[in-house]
Amino acid sequence: MGLTSRSLLYTVIFVAVVCVGLTLWLWPRLSGRGVLPLLGRLGAIVVTQLTIMSSVLLAVNSANSFYGSWGELIGKYDRSPGEVTQVTENGGASTTPVDAGKGGLVRNTGTEGLDKSDIPQGPKDKVGTLESVRLVARRAGVMEPAFVYLPPQYYQEQYKRQRFPVVIAISGYPGGITNLSHFLKVPKTASDLIVERKMQPTVIVMVRPTIAPPRDTECVDVPGGPQSETYFTKDLPEALKSAYRVGHEASAWGVMGYSSGGTCALELAMRQPGTFPVAGALSADYKIKNDLTTGNLFGDGEEGEKNKREHDLIWRLQNLPAPRVSVLVTSSKEGEKNFKETEKFLKAVKEPMTAAKIILPSGSHNFTTWRREIAPTLEWMGKQMTFPQDVNN
């Protein structure tokens, strides 16, 4: 039986229930004095606890797909990079204001959080650099942490008048930006790809998916609540354009993420193609739902139901005109719960939208899997965006 199979889970739960029943039935018989009754009581406790804990751990793993196979559980991972497959032919590619003050829309925070990050080692003009900042969002009314990776070309004389393409990288929930820099190794991977000329020089901005922690805002403009979509599609680009030499046209902007961050990336691209015409989604879901961590994201009544439908991406493709965007989605045939939905999503894609995919034979919902997908995803995204875009006058 597979590690994530329901038959294994139900079998272990049945065994746990039987062990509890046997312990209750045998306990009076094991109440005597002596070594054997003592060993019997200890054995009953240990076996019962093991079966109960196994049931709980299997249920948690089944729900979250941390490990997809017995091999992964004992540390045997396939670490080879995924391969991008083009699915469709490429076509044409109320708010509370915040005073930016003297610090502007991007505030440098020194080395905050960088001690846990994989920072490219070497001169800035050879490997690039990583900055820790806070982004001021005047419309959404928040100030959010971010890491900004600047490629080596940003510091080279021949590029001093050029604006660079941008990838917004969104972590999963409840993880933060350190997960992107340390566990997923986004800046290190981007630096290596750029040095090897497998990716064009690109600014990468690492952010979290929520602007109202601990609530999971899922990149949604909540009626009467946090304006996450506004933050990502208006405030964030405004702040970055004010402080960095980044492209001013949409063709230079892309968004990517893993898990709920991947869901955000797809949602933002398909709902706001004029801001993010390129998206890379690692292990994403294809619709946003209310749960205990999100609260009511969509509002009540008919308007709430309409908002909920419009955040179902397969429904959008089946009922609304397709946006002019290019997306890449990833999944695994074994170990990921979203594999069937990924196939359904890809079948629903229609012109002028284009899609590519990375489908691994096996791989669970964890960083070991996403590290196999991050390099080909970044490389693919780099080919979709325009550089150099314009001259910095």
In the three-class reduction of DSSP (H, G, I as helix; E, B as strand; rest coil), residue 258 is classed as strand
Which residues touch 183 (CB under 8 Å, ≥6 apart)?
A: 367
Q: pLDDT tens string for the chain (393 positions)?
A: 666 566 777 888 888 888 888 888 877 877 777 777 788 888 888 888 888 888 887 776 655 445 545 554 555 444 555 566 666 654 333 333 334 444 589 999 888 878 767 766 788 998 899 999 999 999 999 999 999 999 999 999 999 889 999 999 999 998 889 899 989 999 999 999 999 999 999 999 999 999 998 899 999 999 999 999 999 999 999 999 999 999 999 999 999 999 999 999 999 999 999 999 999 999 999 999 999 999 999 999 999 999 999 999 999 999 999 999 999 999 999 989 999 999 999 999 999 999 999 999 999 899 999 999 999 999 999 999 988 666 554
CATH number attached to the domain at 85-384: 3.40.50.1820
Task: Please report the pLDDT score of residue 91 as a whole number.
Answer: 38
The tally of CA atoms less than 13 A away on the side-chain side of residue 301 is 2
How would you classify the pairing of strands 326-334 and 278-282?
parallel
- Which residue, 164, 191, 344, 179, is CA-closest to 245? 164
Query: Residue 373: how many CB atoms within 10 A of its CB?
Result: 25
Residue with tokens 């419309």: 139
Task: Please report the pLDDT score of residue 121 as a whole number.
Answer: 77
Q: How far apart are CA 210 and CA 217, in angstroms?
A: 5
Task: Please report the pLDDT score of residue 42 as a whole number.
Answer: 84
Task: Please report the pLDDT score of residue 356 as a whole number.
Answer: 96
The tally of CA atoms less than 13 A away on the side-chain side of residue 60 is 7
Domain coordinates in residue numbering, the chain: 6-64, 85-384
